[in-house]
Chain A
């Protein structure tokens, strides 16, 4: 959550309210369960950590929320590191999804490349799991757990395929525009 909000700010400084909106949009139907207050709490925490700063906006005096948040130098570094890191042991779906959305929005990283990196990692682990499965004698209970792991990794790989399809298309469209 923290990293996602930081990455969103990397594109441009924003109001907390706008940040909430963008997060909700990125999460799609899952975004409905997100509490609006969560964004402000997180922002306050990030500010305390010195990763963001805020200034008062004079443009829209009618709104109660006039704080515009921006990344600090340290905040930038943290975002770049987050985008570059490969999730281990297993990607959190929501986090990875937000990462792709943030990477695409901030243009700090290519989402397709992120997918590729993630896939390589998953494949490596799938290979380990699968070989372990094959090393087990046929029909042994010990192999069952390994098989479950292999199947989950495979499911993740499939999802990555879908991610790649969507984000490479999105990249092309924005590239064409």
Chain B
């Protein structure tokens, strides 16, 4: 018990004394786990929502559509109940492809003649208002959302005005805007939304010679046996009638098209963010390692066992990582329903991260914590207690070529370059982080430069929800990326400034001014930034082309050329802060502190 208390007290004390690094650790891990878990939640997420909706609305296993409303079509549809494996068949419904008029204008729509009391197959779930009655129209939820229709609004269908009496969702139709399902005469589907009218109210449309289709809903004995059905149903009916079967997996697949672009954005973005988080945290841990080792040494001197020392170090990192992981998953839970169901056409009762995703991100977070804490912990355990109390002898091993070139540069810059060159790993991480940011910004700018065409729904152009969704996700991921880049740059420059404090103090005893020292440190940080930023642009262009369905490459947006100078400027500004703070310290004090 006393031990637990001691560990708790030590961890708490350290957190109180160094809240900055703890916050950085939490923020980095949080962003990475949130995006990663979101990205990992996407595969199958929409399918899961579809299954929920299907269960809640008694969705059909197969929807079979026949063009027109002819007797032959009816007969052909009816004959499907003889197909082996079919358990039940609904009555034949009619869909009329006719524009509806809202206050916003004329919009293409599929109008389904529905029963006041839905049959056993496809019982649309009313999410607001009530189900159709004669003289009242029900609008599919995604469609209603796009048109901003509410219960009580009025729409004109086939020249007659109806009040909107309800909003509903169904699993028997593809989500907005793919409600056409085969379209008039079985042609390529145009984008449109679904509304339900009472059967009786559709008779006017039937008489007005509006393009129409007939359909039945089938229930299979085995809902999974859709492939078998598809293989044999053509043999059962009059070959003169062209039937078109939509099995439920096909509908689910089409619904997931929404996330076709979003998924790579999130998954790729999630891994890039994880890389940035690890880069930042590694630098942070390296910067704190000296202090941690010293702390471990102190604990050992007062008689703590090596085990206890390791436990304290690991506990702190683990606790912070788990907090960050929980926060990241919470963010995912809040954001996921918006991401996976952009049209609102499906139910979203359970859209949070699934068990495996939670486990996965937790493993990642714990891994990051252990990786960053393990090195100092192991080093602390291995080092003699007394040796840890005296400052470590730093041994720069190899000088990189660039430090040779540095001889021609102004002295403070030379010093800065040498400091940077001493840690080639960190230079690579910094360059990588900058490149990642540049990739993100490039993709953002390129996507932004594409015209937002929108969805043509007949008279009105509606917002292209799919594209909008992708852009929003992209913006979110890149915002997170920039946030992490800022955090990383601060971590990096702060660590470098701390480590170079003595060197810079020595330079000042030799007559360097504080301004020279600050400039040197800040400029030296820019070295890895420039190649990183430059490499990021072509990488970003490739990424955008690769995940943008390999459309012919578009010319680079002129704004791209602003990325390197912008990144350089931002890095210089962020590097100047800790450098300045460090340069302001009294030289004598710095040297004294180091000499002890």
Does A touch B (CB under 8 Å) in the complex? no
Contact surface of A with B, Cβ cutoff 8 Å:
none
